[in-house]
Amino acid sequence: MARALSGVFEQFLADRSLYLAPKSILVYSRMFVPVNRFLQDKWPITRDDIERFLYDRRQKVSPTTLNMHLRQMSTFFRWCVSRRFLPKNPMDQLTFKRVRERPKISDTLSRDDLARVLRHCACQPHHNRRDFAIIAAMADTGMRPGELCNLFVGDFNEQECSLHLDGKTGGRLVPVTPLTARAIHTYLQECGDPPAQAPLFCQESGKPLIREDLNCIFWRIKRKLGLQKLYPYQLRHTFATEFLRNGGNMEALRRMLGHAGLNLIQRYAHLNFSDLMQAQLQASPIAHIRVHIK
C-alpha cells in the first residue's frame, strides 16, 4: 500500500504521545506543517528533498527556528528508520549545515526584585505561604515550571534539604537552602501535613497545581508589585545566571537544571561590564601584586 508523508508522521506522533508532553507533541505538529506543504506529502523522502526544503526555509525563518527544524526532522527520520519505514536516514551526510545562532540572553529578575517578591509573599495568609514556598523553591533550584507542578510531598526531604525532581532528562535530586526547606515545611504544616503521595503544591480547592495556576500566581504578584516582567521560567533563568555569577561551575549548573549537555548552559554565561570588572579584579595576576610606582 502506498504511503504518504502525513500518514507516517501521524504514526510518529501517536508513538511519541505515549511518553512526551502534549506541548512537545504540538511543537512537532507545527514543525510538520511547512515540511509537508513544501514536499506535498511525498513519500519516501530523499536527502535532496530535505536539502531543498532547508535551503528554501533558510530565506524565511530565523537561524534558531531553522536549527529547530533540523533537530526535529532528524528525530523523525531516525524513528522512520527504526520502524523500517525507510531503509536509511535521508539526513545522513547532508551538505546543509546548522546556521550559527546569535547567543540568546535570557530575561532575569534582579536581586532587589526577587527580594521584593519574597517579602510580598512572606508572613501572609495561607495561599501566600504557598506562593512564598513556590517562589523560593523555583529561585533556589532553577526547576522547570512543569517539574514544580509534578512534585509530591514525598519528593521533599526536610532533613537533607533536598527535592527530587522528575524532568525531561529523568529524575534528579537537587539541594535547597534552609530558607526554602523551612518555607516548604511551614506551608505543609498549614496544610495539615498531607501524606507522601499527595501533590506538594495545590490549588486552594485542594486540587493539584497546574501550569495555568502557576502562571496566574506570577501574574497576580507581578501586577501587585508593578513589575515589568515576572513569569515562572524567569526564575529558572535568574537562578542559572546568579549561580554562575556567584562562582558556581558549569557542570554543577547543568546537573541542577537537568540538562543533558552544556550547550544550553551557554546562554547563562553572559556577563555585563560590572561583572567582568569584578571578575578581572579577582582573577588577574596583576590585581594581587603590590608595586610602588615612582
What pLDDT, in 10s, does the model give residues 35-48?
999 999 999 999 89
Residue 195 has pLDDT above 90, yes or no: yes
Stated pTM of the model: 0.64
Residue 181 has pLDDT above 80, yes or no: yes
pLDDT of residue 205: 81
Q: What is the second-level CATH architecture of the domain 5-82?
A: Orthogonal Bundle (1.10)
Domain with CATH 1.10.150 in the chain: 5-82
User: Which cell goes with 139?
Assistant: 529561585
What DSSP designation does 172 have?
E
Phi first, then psi: give them for residue 163, nearest 5 degrees: -130, 140
Cα 145 to Cα 27: distance, rounded to the nearest angstrom: 18
Domain with CATH 1.10.443.10 in the chain: 111-276
User: Which cell goes with 100?
Assistant: 550559527
Do residues 153 and 197 lie in contact, with contact meaning Cβ atoms separated by under 8 Å?
A: yes
Mean pLDDT (whole number) for 234-253: 87
Nearest CA-CA partner of 96 in 62, 78, 69, 75: 69
Do residues 267 and 103 lie in contact, with contact meaning Cβ atoms separated by under 8 Å?
A: yes
What is the secondary structure of 175-222 as a DSSP string? E--HHHHHHHHHHHHHTT---TTSBSSB-TTSSBP-HHHHHHHHHHHH
Least confident of 36-45, 73-82, 233-242, 245-254: 245-254
Mean pLDDT (whole number) for 178-191: 92
Write down the number of H helices and E strands in the chain: 12, 3
Q: Give the count of beta carbons closer than 10 Å to the beta carbon of residue 99.
A: 15
Mean pLDDT (whole number) for 74-83: 93
The residue ranking higher by pLDDT, 201 or 294, is 201
pLDDT of residue 99: 62
Confidence of residue 114 (pLDDT cuts 50, 70, 90): very high
Phi first, then psi: give them for residue 202, nearest 5 degrees: -125, 160
Q: What is the pLDDT of residues 226-235, one digit of tens each?
A: 999 999 999 9
Confidence of residue 290 (pLDDT cuts 50, 70, 90): low
Q: What is the pLDDT of residues 25-35, one digit of tens each?
A: 888 999 899 99
Q: Which fold has domain 111-276?
A: hpI Integrase; Chain A (1.10.443)
What is the secondary structure of 11-68 as a DSSP string? HHHHHHTTTS-HHHHHHHHHHHHHHHHHHTT-SS--HHHHHHHHHHHTTTS-HHHHHH
Residue 1 has pLDDT above 50, yes or no: no
Residue 68 has pLDDT above 90, yes or no: no
